[in-house]
Structure 1
Amino acid sequence: MAYLSDDVLRFVRAVGPQPDEVLREMDAYAEREGFPHVGPEVGGFLRFLAGVAGAKRVLEFGSGYGYSAYWFADALPDDGEIVLTEVNRELLDMAREYLERGGYGTIATYEHGDAIETVERYDGPFDVVLIDHQKHRYVEALEAVRGKLASGAVVVADNAMSAADVVVFEDLLDHVEGGSPDLNEGTRGIAAYLDHVRADPAFETTVLPLGEGIALSRFRPE
């Protein structure tokens, strides 16, 4: 579900950072295979965000075939690091191939397996974190990485407004406005995440209607 009109979406894509040849190939793959990637408008924003944050280390909970990681990688310094996590070995192998073709192989670390179990093996700090895996585990992911966030770090949660039939926007809206809708598992997961991060005084949160919605939470510990 897109929250921008076709004309506005075209405008955002035209004004924002332009995908290179590899990203255009990745976009074509997503369209051909029906793969739910974040798309160039969110990808361009992620690259912009990492650059503005001066990020050196980025962690992804759920990397798929490396689309968002590729956008992030372009904003990182030569001694930076992006950690990709993915349970599907074939997708992770695709991510490795794409990032190496883009010249980012030296700053990418590829972790096959459960993302939350993986992050336990890492020390911080991380400057940007993307949560984009199982919706019912978003809160668990945030808590798993919380102690590894740099002061001022930004946590990005994808599908903050919808995700095909997994997250239902109308029910989510009813929930955040104080209603008591009957939520499916995916919508409950996003609702729980938004409730959790908004109630935490260490985070300042907003939502942007790019793609299927991204929640941005800036970490400001006391």
Structure 2
Amino acid sequence: MSQASWSSVDAYFSKMLVPEDGCLKQALSDSEAAGLPPHNVAPNQGKFLHLLARVQGARRILEIGTLGGYSTIWLARALPDEGRLVTLEADPKNAAIASANIERAGLSSVVSVCVGPAIDSLRTMVAAGESPFDFIFIDADKPNNPAYLELSLQLSRPGTVIIGDNVVREGEVANAMSSDARVQGVRSFLEMMSADPRLSATAIQTVGSKGYDGFSMAVVES
């Protein structure tokens, strides 16, 4: 199978099952126009995250890595009226674009965009006694994934779902000798999940318009 075939199937699924509205399409368009890297999730992946959060009954969501706010909108739309989403973005330019996209979607009252290195923001939240989150989406710089996981656990409760994006790295995640810091960050992330008795986890490979990759899913058990 080829990238063209994967993209064609994704386009078919999205057309059949994932009707995007103007706010979502404009979020992608504005992000592209501003020169943001095309690292957003695909439409069907965004809908998948949305459904996962709904199935889990999430009222409080934490997103690590905002970019242009595309996945933020999908996740925020899964929340009940009294729900809250906190998203962390290191780059002020990205955060400004995301904030505009979130406002256009009518979600500014639901979403808080925190600007600055995610590790610093997470540590501040832990120190302040932030209430635990029900659903956490980790999609930022991969070398820091282990630190994001450890800090996320301090902001979790039994039953919290933790999703990690981009964990396959075109298959390189299975290469213990890789010199890529992103690959090694993901490997350490998965090793931490495996070794932590508080977590029950798995990982899935995916193909599609975003290439060959995958995601991890963990549930906090204690």
State the TM-score, normalizing by the size of structure 1: 0.86
Q: Would the aligned equivalents of 2:31 and 2:97 in 1 still touch at CA under 8 Å?
A: no
Partner of residue 77 from structure 1, selected from 76, 80, 83? 80
Moved more, 183-192 or 207-216: 207-216
Shift of 1:12: 2.9
Change (3 A) 1:220 1:161: same
Q: 1:140 to 1:22 in 2, by over 3 A?
A: same
Q: 1:205: which partner in 2?
A: 201
**Partner AA of 2:86 in structure 1:** V
CA distance in 2, matches of 1:134, 1:104: 25
| C-alpha distance in 2 between matches for 1:4 and 1:109 | 38
The aligned runs of 1:69-218 (5 Å cut-off) are 69-122=72-125, 123-162=130-169, 169-175=170-176, 181-208=177-204, 209=206, 211=210, 212-218=213-219
Distance in 2 (CA, whole Å) between partners of 1:16 and 1:61 is 27
- CA deviation digits over 1:49-106, x for unaligned, max 9? 1111110111111111111111001011121111111111121111111111111110
Gaps of 5+ in 1: 163-168, 176-180
**1:152 partner SS:** coil
| Corresponding residue for residue 219 of structure 1 | 220
Structure 1 residues 92 and 204 mapped into 2: Cα distance closer, same or farther (>3 Å)? same
The answer to whether the Cα contact below 8 Å between 1:205 and 1:217 also exists between their aligned partners in 2 is yes
Q: Is 1:39 aligned with 2:46?
A: no
The letter of the residue matching 2:65 is: G
Give distance in 2, aligned partners of 1:102 and 1:161: 31
Alpha-carbon RMSD: 2.2
97-106 or 12-21, which moves further after superposition? 12-21
Aligned residues: 210
Partner SS, residue 138 of structure 1: helix
| Cα shift at 1:172 | 1.6
The answer to whether structure 1 residue 23 and structure 2 residue 24 are counterparts is yes
Residue 5 of structure 1 aligns to a residue whose secondary structure is: helix
Structure 2 residue aligned with 1:14: 15
Q: Residues 182, 174 of structure 1: CA spacing in aligned structure 2 closer, same or farther, 3 A cutoff?
A: closer
More moved, 195-204 vs 70-79: 195-204
CA shift digits 1:20-58 (9 cap, x unpaired)? 111112233455644211121211111101111110111
Distance 1:72 1:60 in 2: 9
The amino acid across from 1:116 in the alignment is I
Amino acid of the structure 2 residue aligned with 1:64: L
**1:128-167: CA deviation from partner (whole Å, max 9, x where unpaired):** 11111111110101111212212211111111112xxxxx
**For residue 62 of structure 2, what is the aligned residue in structure 1?**
59
